[in-house]
Amino acid sequence: MFGMGFTEILMIAVVAIIFLGPEKLPKFLVDIAKFFKSLKRAVNDAKVQLEQEVKITELKEEAEEYKKKFRSISEEMESITAELEEDPMAQIEEFKRAKEPKREVVRFKKKIDEDKDKVNV
């Protein structure tokens, strides 16, 4: 026990009996046992408290990650909503304008072809 042999424990007991006497020794041993029991309880309480603090820290970190994800999703939803709120007719008009120059190019090509035919005749 604690790296002590039987003879060392016996010597401590003899010294304790000599200094304390046989009347006070049992009360002293009970007090020592209570002290070690309360010390063990305090260490266990500190251990439990520390484990709870670590769990709380982990939960806070996890909550921060979810908060960041929620923010990014919210921003994405806002951009999608803004796109949906745009006037669809404006997009149609823009599409029509994009097609109009092509029609003129086709007309210009037809005119060139007609001019070629006139020149070849």
Domain range summary for the chain, segments of one domain joined by +: 88-121
> Is the whole-model pTM more than 0.75?
no
- The total number of residues shown for the chain amounts to 121
Tell me which residue of 119, 115, 97 sits closest to 107, measured CA to CA. Answer: 115
Q: For every one of its 121 residues, what pLDDT tens digit does the chain have, with 9 covering 90 and above?
A: 467 788 887 888 888 888 888 788 888 888 889 999 999 999 999 999 999 998 998 999 999 999 999 999 999 888 888 777 776 677 677 777 666 656 666 677 777 777 777 765 5
Give the list of residues 6+ apart from residue 28 with CB closer than 8 angstroms, or none.
Answer: 16, 20
Whole-number Å distance between alpha carbons of 80 and 72: 12
